[in-house]
Chain A
Amino acid sequence: GAVVSQHPSRVICKSGTSVKIECRSLDFQATTMFWYRQFPKQSLMLMATSNEGSKATYEQGVEKDKFLINHASLTLSTLTVTSAHPEDSSFYICSARDGRPQYFGPGTRLLVL
């Protein structure tokens, strides 16, 4: 199957700082990438969808100025959490596809102190 990587797998930061999470499709070119957020024992919550070279489309209620998404190439997307606060602590998972099924990365656990 297709492989999607994420880096870092875990990050701890101080309140007010910005954190960047990278998502890469390793063996395919992802025309579309997705960013999800997941709280413990809850389902995936789609934050935004991005196509290479285009601005991301954010889901309702997701602050685009807080969660900056850059889909710079067909294999790389980044999510930057700006001025992070403790309530941003969560599990962030990226996903990518070049056709119908989406493939997911391993996730990044963010803890904001």
Chain B
Amino acid sequence: QKEVEQDPGPLSVPEGAIVSLNCTYSNSAFQYFMWYRQYSRKGPELLMYTYSSGNKEDGRFTAQVDKSSKYISLFIRDSQPSDSATYLCAMSGNTGGFKTIFGAGTRLFVKA
């Protein structure tokens, strides 16, 4: 079993839809949770960074962490074609020198 599981998709939605991206993990030591967005042929860009459980909102993006279920989510409201990218979840904790473990990434397509 991988430490971090993420459905690779692809996920295709119409413009304006609410997108839900998710990851599950197995290591209860994870405390820091990140979401990155990667456009084709570019490096990943940090979107959201949260510590422990709870919600964090930034514009159209909301990150949720449920440590009891070992489940994290990224919601994108009013999705736009420019949101089409691969989204990677990542997490780290007081284990292995805070090594960051990445999900495989979910490819998202937002159709105009």
Residue ranges of A at the interface with B (Cβ–Cβ < 8 Å): 1, 4, 6, 43-44, 49, 91, 93, 95, 100-107, 109
Question: Could you list 15 examples of A-B contacts with CB < 8 Å?
Answer: A43-B105, A95-B43, A100-B49, A100-B92, A100-B98, A101-B32, A101-B34, A102-B34, A102-B100, A103-B46, A104-B44, A104-B46, A105-B43, A106-B43, A107-B41
B12 → A minimal CB distance (Å) = 16
Q: Which of B6-44 contact A (CB under 8 A)?
A: 32, 34, 36, 41-44
Question: What chain B residues lie within 8 Å of A91 (beta carbons)?
Answer: 41
Question: What chain B residues lie within 8 Å of A1 (beta carbons)?
Answer: 46
- Given A43-B102, A100-B49: A106 and B42 interface contact (C-beta under 8 Å): yes
User: Inter-chain contact count A-B, CB under 8 Å?
Assistant: 42
Give Cα distance in the complex from A100 to B42, angstroms.
22
Question: What chain A residues lie within 8 Å of B92 (beta carbons)?
Answer: 100
Judging by beta carbons under 8 Å apart, are B98 and A104 in contact? Answer: no
Rank and list the top 5 A-B pairs by shortest CB-CB distance, nearest first: A104-B43, A107-B43, A43-B104, A104-B44, A100-B32
Give Cα distance in the complex from A100 to B51, angstroms.
10
B98 → A minimal CB distance (Å) = 7
B67 → A minimal CB distance (Å) = 16
B36 → A minimal CB distance (Å) = 7
Judging by beta carbons under 8 Å apart, are A44 and B49 in contact? Answer: no
* In the complex, B72 has a CB within 8 A of chain A: no
B103 → A minimal CB distance (Å) = 8
Give Cα distance in the complex from A101 to B88, angstroms.
13
B3 → A minimal CB distance (Å) = 13
Give Cα distance in the complex from A18 to B106, angstroms.
34
Judging by beta carbons under 8 Å apart, are B41 and A44 in contact? Answer: no
Give Cα distance in the complex from A49 to B51, angstroms.
23
A91 → B minimal CB distance (Å) = 7
Give Cα distance in the complex from A95 to B38, angstroms.
13
* In the complex, B57 has a CB within 8 A of chain A: no
* In the complex, B45 has a CB within 8 A of chain A: yes
